[in-house]
Amino acid sequence: YMLLGKPLASFMSWLTGSLTSMADNGAGVLLGVIIGLMMCFDLGGPVNKAAYVTGTALLTEALTAGVGTDTYNFGTNFMAAVSAACIVPPLITTFAVVVGKKYFTKSDFNAGLVNFILGCTHITEGAIPFMTKNIWPVMPIMMLGSSIGAILTLLFGVHDPAPHGGFLVLPVVDGGLKWVLAILIGAVVGGILFVAFKAYEYRKNGNQIVEG
């Protein structure tokens, strides 16, 4: 840890600066895409955590600066986008298993239902089993859905002053309904694509559910 401390700190400083620069230059869509890609690359792993830690660092600066400042607006908007990108993947699986139930095993169906609770409480790891079974194309589908959620959150100007909690923190989110809408749009788009993929697998396998 001692050996990794300085390089990690330098990387986080560079990452924070780069993402802040994008926002300053009005590259909101690109910023949302990067957040979505990072949050879904390993769903709770180091890359995901790097994006989340960046979000909490910017949020700390935001809360220190105070409501009404540009720093506050950017930090809380960024945190809302990170949270949206974290919530979307589990909800993608929930949408997929409900709409495309006949394409999933009983265990995957149950896991997808549980992911509704996990997603709503900001726990993205529930989507990992679905992604690891089919890295391609499920990982890109998750990345797309999360990016849409993050982009819309940024464009809608949602501000989240809480670092965690999922929908539990809705009472303190500025633009909460828009935030939920952004997340749901990302989840539905990703869910439709996931169902389409599973339907393709189902037909290719002679109208049999594909295990794993």
175-209: pLDDT as tens digits: 999 999 999 999 999 999 999 999 999 999 999 98
Average pLDDT for 53-61: 89
Q: Look at residue 27 and tell me whether its pLDDT is greater than 80.
A: no
pLDDT of 13 reads 72
Q: Look at residue 56 and tell me whether its pLDDT is greater than 60.
A: yes
Average pLDDT for 81-110: 97
pLDDT of 26 reads 53
Q: How far is 159 from 112, CA to CA, in rounded Å?
A: 29
Q: Mean pLDDT across the chain, nearest whole number?
A: 89
Q: What is the percent of the chain with per-residue pLDDT over 90, rounded to a whole number?
A: 69
125-183: pLDDT as tens digits: 999 999 999 999 999 999 999 999 999 999 999 999 999 889 999 999 999 999 999 99
Burial of 21 (0-12, 13-18, 19+ CB in 10 A): exposed
User: What residues pair up with 174 in beta bridges, in sequence order?
Assistant: 159
Cis? peptide before 89, omega within 30° of 0? no
pLDDT of 23 reads 59
Residue 2: band (very low, low, confident or very high) from pLDDT cuts 50, 70, 90 = very low
Q: Look at residue 3 and tell me whether its pLDDT is greater than 50.
A: no
Q: Look at residue 29 and tell me whether its pLDDT is greater than 70.
A: yes
| Tokens 């790891």 sit on residue | 125
pLDDT of 76 reads 95
Tell me which DSSP letter residue 42 carries: S
Q: Look at residue 5 and tell me whether its pLDDT is greater than 70.
A: no
Instruction: Supply the pTM of this predicted model.
Output: 0.90
pLDDT of 54 reads 85
